[in-house]
Structure 1
Amino acid sequence: MYALLYALFKRQDFALFAKLNWLAILIDATDGTLARAVDIKKVVPTYDGALLDNIIDYQTFAVLPALAVIVFEIVPGSALQFIVAAMVLLSAAYQFCQTTAKTTEAFVGFPSYWNIVVFYIYYLECSMPVAVAVFTACAVLSFIPIHFIYPTRTIAFFNLNIIGAVIWATLMLFPTFFPKSQYARPALYASFVYAAYYLLVSLYLDSLRRIEERKA
């Protein structure tokens, strides 16, 4: 709500928007772990935390970034902005509503990290063709059942997944909270290491999974 009222509509302040989204990512990375730690399904058996998680995640990782595309003119031209925003919302809606959207260890399809996509395109000042290509590629990946690693659940490379995620979040602190720092740009580039690792490990593990399925 604060992101909607202040970062987007009142101040149109991308720096504030980024800070709030960074905090939202931090919360999203820890809420499930905390819920499982207290065995919430036994504590409150009639409460569907997974449903609440999906509602909040769709708002945070799809609706806010879609609005950011328009408010902060992530791509030029109102028509293109609405097309990209619609692409974000529709692909995320499809991904979130799949009964197989998550397994015990993975996200199936692009995990709707749209705010992170917006971060990089805005910070790197990507050209229109590059920005549209990235948005389109991620939207298409939402419909392809590739299993992407779930850092807090994927058993393979678990320690590397967690350590890498923590380092990535730390690196993103600089462009997000200290954009004028001399370390902001180097930290942003360095964060791509984990992004590349995430994609490559996801593809590797997905290929192993498919091989095992064919054998079975």
Structure 2
Amino acid sequence: MSPQIKALSVHLLTATGAVFAMLAMLAAVEEKWSLMFLWLVVAFVVDGIDGPLARRYHVKHYAAEFDGVLLDLIIDYLTYVFIPAFALFKSGLMDGWTGWFAIIIITFASAMYFADTRMKTKDNSFSGFPGCWNMVVLVIFALEPNFWVSLSLVAALAVAMFLPLRFIHPVRTERWRLVSLPMALAWTFFAAWAAWVDFHPESWAHWGLVVTSVYLLLVGFVQQIFPDRTTELDAP
């Protein structure tokens, strides 16, 4: 197989995320939330593997006619932002004005963040919360906290998108990757399991979601507070 075909195949793999987004949206319209999240988890897995494959097969050189970054951002907005926001609003977990607030602030703030050229740091982490609303909303579905808790969480993370706070990329952030990557894989497993059992309140997967979510949310802050003195990082 030629390098060009291998590189193009990576773009085609990335584009399947749009198909999974449509399947998730169809499930969401019918309020089949577990099925929706299962499709979003599949899209999440594709998003996790297409980046390393793109770098391995040098898509910027061998398939330069397609912009892989733009393609990835389009699909990420659908699967990370748009569909989860719709689900949070339509499910009734945030009723009345709180639902309207959530859907407006999530979609608006994320559109601005995804267009921000400063979102990446020199160590391949994110500057500001990277708009992973699919993960946030899935945890809300699993735990069903008081809507004031959900409202506070959404508001805080929306503000955090534009603050100089560091959030890791579990694949690309090298520091502590031996822990971060297994944590991300574990989160994916717990998310799929929680959706598979229709978010049963007694599912042990919920505890796994809490532990892995707290780690992925806070580890970037810890790295920021205790920087690696051997590596030159950009200023926070």
Are 2:198 and 1:179 equivalent residues in the alignment? yes
Question: What amino acid is the match of 1:23?
Answer: V
Residue equivalent to 1:153: 172
3-state SS in 2 of match to 1:185: coil
- 1:208 Cα deviation after fit: 4.0
The number of residues matched between the two structures is 211
Q: Distance in 2 between matches of 1:145 and 1:22?
A: 28
Residue equivalent to 1:206: 224
- 1:207 Cα deviation after fit: 2.6
Question: What amino acid is the match of 1:187?
Answer: A
Structure 1 moving runs of 4+ over 3 Å: 179-182, 208-215
Are 2:145 and 1:126 equivalent residues in the alignment? yes
Are 2:70 and 1:51 equivalent residues in the alignment? yes
1:14 to 33, 37, 48: 33
Which aligned pairs between 1:89-168 and structure 2 lie closer than 5 A? 89-103=107-121, 104-168=123-187
Q: Distance in 1 between matches of 2:220 and 2:89?
A: 31
Go from structure 1 to structure 2 and tell me whether the alpha carbon gap of 1:208 and 1:94 turns closer, same or farther (over 3 Å shift): farther
TM-superposition CA deviations, 1:68-98 (whole Å, max 9, x none): 1222122012x32121100101111121111
Question: What amino acid is the match of 2:163?
Answer: I
Q: Distance in 2 between matches of 1:214 and 1:16?
A: 41
TM-superposition CA deviations, 1:96-117 (whole Å, max 9, x none): 1110112351111101111111
Residue equivalent to 2:18: none
Q: Distance in 1 between matches of 2:51 and 2:192?
A: 22
Q: Distance in 2 between matches of 1:44 and 1:214?
A: 31
- Structure 1 vs Structure 2 CA RMSD: 2.3
Which aligned pairs between 1:31-46 and structure 2 lie closer than 5 A? 31-46=50-65
Decide whether the 8 Å contact of 1:84 with 1:132 is kept in 2.
yes
TM-superposition CA deviations, 1:160-202 (whole Å, max 9, x none): 11111112212222211133779x6222112222222223320
Decide whether the 8 Å contact of 1:74 with 1:118 is kept in 2.
no
Decide whether the 8 Å contact of 1:102 with 1:108 is kept in 2.
yes
Residue equivalent to 2:8: none
- 1:210 Cα deviation after fit: 10
Residue equivalent to 1:67: 86
Question: What amino acid is the match of 1:44?
Answer: A
Decide whether the 8 Å contact of 1:62 with 1:114 is kept in 2.
yes
Q: Distance in 2 between matches of 1:37 and 1:213?
A: 24
Q: Which runs of 5+ in 1 are unaligned?
A: none
3-state SS in 1 of match to 2:175: coil
Q: Distance in 2 between matches of 1:210 and 1:155?
A: 11
Question: Given the two structures, how large is their TM-score scaled by the length of structure 2?
Answer: 0.82
Go from structure 1 to structure 2 and tell me whether the alpha carbon gap of 1:163 and 1:208 turns closer, same or farther (over 3 Å shift): same
Go from structure 1 to structure 2 and tell me whether the alpha carbon gap of 1:210 and 1:154 turns closer, same or farther (over 3 Å shift): closer
Residue equivalent to 1:83: 101
Q: Distance in 1 between matches of 2:132 and 2:150?
A: 15
Aligned-pair identity (%): 29
Q: Distance in 2 between matches of 1:30 and 1:142?
A: 24
TM-superposition CA deviations, 1:106-163 (whole Å, max 9, x none): 1111011111111111221111111101111111111112121111111111111111
